[in-house]
Amino acid sequence: MEMYTNVLLVTANVGSLFENVAEIQNEWLQELYKTIHNYQPQFVALHFQEVGGKDYRANMSHAEDFFRSIASSEKMKDFDRVCIYVDSQCKAEDSFTALGSMYFIHKTLENIRQYDFNDKDFKEVAGQNRHLGSLDGVTTVEKEKFPKNFWPDFKWSRKGFMRTRWIIHNQGLDLVNVHLFHDASNLIACNSSPSIYSAIRKNALRHVINRISDGHCTPPTLPFFLFGDFNFRLDTQNLVQHLSTSAEAQTVKKSSSDEVERMIWEEKDNDHQVLLHIEEKLFAYLHQAFFREDNGKALLKYDKEAAAFDDVVREEDIKFPPSYPYSEEYTKPTQYMNTRCPAWCDRILMSHSAQKFIRKSEDGEKSVVYNTVGSNVCMGDHKPVFFFFSLETNDH
């Protein structure tokens, strides 16, 4: 018998949540609960990156409390089975990823099992399964930090992926939490198209896809969803050329070396007003509202990194503004910071085989929604991104 299971996938880089006032955390949680209430999913998957923030050693206990508060919230009481995986063992430098994944199963969803990678078998899920700290020896999750040679010329960082595997009414799924490498310098990002950082991310993502398709599970490859902070950036070199066509460029080098310190574009008329100012960690564009106009539609042609994987994955059409870097000021929830060029860093991608099991709209009913959580509320520097859909399954 054909059945449908309503599924909600959410990805959120929560690093800034642990460095900010409690009000932002509370607002963040209320927006999450509101989204869950609005869509009434039977299965919820939350993927978090940068757990604990930059000062993770000091903040990790707060981060763990944050996860526990979600799991025990009155708003989630109808989800009677919960699986939590938080890699908070920050002393393990060689393996620490700062990734966290939470899965909630509604009391009405009866036929669901989870894969044990050790026993190579699917098992019933019962009660609350909380794994916070080291995930070594936890057999229902796979976790890997990217090797050091993936990021050879820069500081090794907490980047990697985490996978769980499920069967919902006889339909198998892999859910993969991903955190790829960021742009360390805006100036270097401008140097080439595609940028050096884009090439590093491409290498890392291909590694993830190969790892989840390498046949060491039974069955070897299932439909999968990759969701996390891919750190995909716009083609900065070509975007800058577009933004500055009517401006005069000026390059300032450091006095002690030939290294570029900043690049400034001034309007040719209009009293030579500064149109664009770029430094290693500064990207200040005079007309910032441009990045949100029509949900950033004009920028989509510079969003090229996902297209390199069209052979394996696809994505719903993006109809929301870039998800990063939003202001962390409580009163400026829709304003971007002048630290990086706004981009769609936070994404939800699916294999072509997964797309086949997503129920299509009928009678004008919207059965697929791809959007941000808390678009008009301060959620930290990343807006969480969600994907709601009905999964077609067979109950036999």
Has residue 342 been placed in a domain?
Answer: yes
pLDDT digits (tens, 9 = 90+) for 105-142: 999 999 999 999 999 999 999 999 999 999 999 999 99
Has residue 116 been placed in a domain?
Answer: yes
Q: What is the pLDDT of residue 271?
A: 77
Find the CATH number of the domain harbouring 64: 3.60.10.10
**Enclosing domain of residue 185:** 2-234+291-394
Q: Does the pLDDT value for residue 232 go beyond 60?
A: yes
Has residue 270 been placed in a domain?
Answer: no
What mean pLDDT is reported for the chain? Answer: 92
Q: Does the pLDDT value for residue 151 go beyond 80?
A: no
Q: In 10 A of CB 74, how many CB atoms?
A: 6
Tokens read off for 377: 């509320």
Amino acid at 103: Y
- The rounded percent of the chain whose pLDDT value lies above 70 is 94
Q: Does the pLDDT value for residue 156 go beyond 70?
A: no
pLDDT digits (tens, 9 = 90+) for 342-363: 999 999 999 999 999 998 766 5
Q: Does the pLDDT value for residue 155 go beyond 80?
A: no
Q: What is the pLDDT of residue 56?
A: 84
Amino acid at 290: F
Distance of alpha carbon 173 from alpha carbon 115, whole angstroms: 10
Q: What is the pLDDT of residue 284?
A: 97
Q: In 10 A of CB 348, how many CB atoms?
A: 21
The stretch 270-295 carries a mean pLDDT of 93
Q: Does the pLDDT value for residue 154 go beyond 70?
A: no
User: Looking at 52-56, 260-264, 387-391, which range is the least confident one?
Assistant: 52-56
Has residue 265 been placed in a domain?
Answer: no
pLDDT digits (tens, 9 = 90+) for 73-85: 999 999 999 999 9
The stretch 19-29 carries a mean pLDDT of 82
Q: What is the pLDDT of residue 395?
A: 63
Has residue 100 been placed in a domain?
Answer: yes
Has residue 44 been placed in a domain?
Answer: yes
Has residue 205 been placed in a domain?
Answer: yes
The stretch 225-249 carries a mean pLDDT of 95
Q: What is the pLDDT of residue 217?
A: 66
Has residue 286 been placed in a domain?
Answer: no
Tally of domains in the chain: 1
Rg (CA), the chain: 21
Contacts of 236 (CB under 8 A, 6+ apart): 183, 186, 189, 190, 193, 195, 341
